Amino acid sequence: MEPKTVCIIGGTGFVGNYIANRLGRRGDQVRVLTRRRERKRDVLSVPRLLLVETDVHDERALMQQVSGCDVVINLAGILNEHKGPKGDAFRRVHADLPRKIVTACRRAGVKRYLHMSALGAASDAPSLYQRTKAEGERAALEADSDRLRVTAFRPSVIFGPGDSFLSLFAILLRIAPGVMLLPTPDAQFKPVYVGNVAEAFVRAIDDPAGTSGKSYELCGPRIYTLRELVEYIGRTAGLRRKIVGLPDFASRLQARILQRVPGKPYSYDNYLSSTVPNVCTDDGLAQLGITPTPLEAVAPGYIGPYHRQDRYQDFRKEAGRQA
């Protein structure tokens, strides 16, 4: 396969790091666009990567940056809004930006666009996150043509070192005083490994004819309830905590309270997303020839007690208590 030039929007985050690494290591040139280069320097360890600071919402700047690229990948996304009128930020990132990207691709003569949506994205979904994701996915797939081939991906929650799902619950369990109050304990997920997600993108790049115009649901091998996942994290991290599942009215109340806390660790929109089972109806990984990695094969490596020991060593070193 000829090396390609791949432009990634939203490539400085968790998933972006894995995709960029996978592409850089096989010889592709990777151009990652970011709104704040100084804060996203971690990604610079990826081979053959150029990190460019630009306003991705500015159509002219976007067109300049995607021109000369063989492939454009869009991973930009937010889980919560932090300022402005309700719905504005979700719409801007999940729906308006994909429209601008496909326009920029067409004008710049880019022939391939890979779009990151999310499982549960639907125009009648309960949460704004899911509805705006659906709008962006629709705009992306409607742009599919002989001139610009488009593929979309709809993952369930993604796990792997650096994730903000299992790792977040590991932190919450660590600071919980013996008991953890868990909202929506029966919410269902089919978590997918980030390495499998990155591989799905790479396979789609290598098979434009077979994958264009399609949307792939990406899930791992097993369905878990949120309670099962959190109990697993507790056992794996060696943290004995009692998990108390909150009934629906208390889950809603907790969401309304926590969305006022700085950093918004949980919001009412997150609560609404979790009212729909986050499980695949289609096996996108199998369609792409990928065997899903079980959560249990990866999670102990970054949430297990061994990892915690390592982190304590690092803290001690930082605090100057050890040479």
Q: Give the residues lining the site for ligand NAP (CB under 6 A).
A: 10-16, 34-36, 40, 56, 75-78, 93, 116, 118, 155, 157-158, 165
Output the smallest distance, CB 108 to ligand NAP, in A.
19
Output the smallest distance, CB 284 to ligand NAP, in A.
13
* Angstrom distance (rounded) from CA 212 to CA 18: 22
Output the smallest distance, CB 322 to ligand NAP, in A.
31
Which residue of the chain is nearest ligand NAP when measured via CB?
13
Contacts of residue 244, Cβ cutoff 8 Å, sequence gap at least 6: 179, 180, 181, 182
Report phi then psi at 9, rounded to 5: -100, 130
Alpha-carbon torsion (165, 170, 176, 181), positive or negative: positive
In terms of CB distance, is 51 or 241 closer to ligand NAP? Answer: 51
In terms of CB distance, is 136 or 241 closer to ligand NAP? Answer: 136
181: β partners: 244
* Angstrom distance (rounded) from CA 146 to CA 212: 9
In terms of CB distance, is 91 or 253 closer to ligand NAP? Answer: 91
Output the smallest distance, CB 262 to ligand NAP, in A.
18
Output the smallest distance, CB 167 to ligand NAP, in A.
11
In terms of CB distance, is 158 or 237 closer to ligand NAP? Answer: 158
In terms of CB distance, is 43 or 255 closer to ligand NAP? Answer: 43
152: β partners: 115, 215
DSSP 292: P
Contacts of residue 301, Cβ cutoff 8 Å, sequence gap at least 6: 161, 307
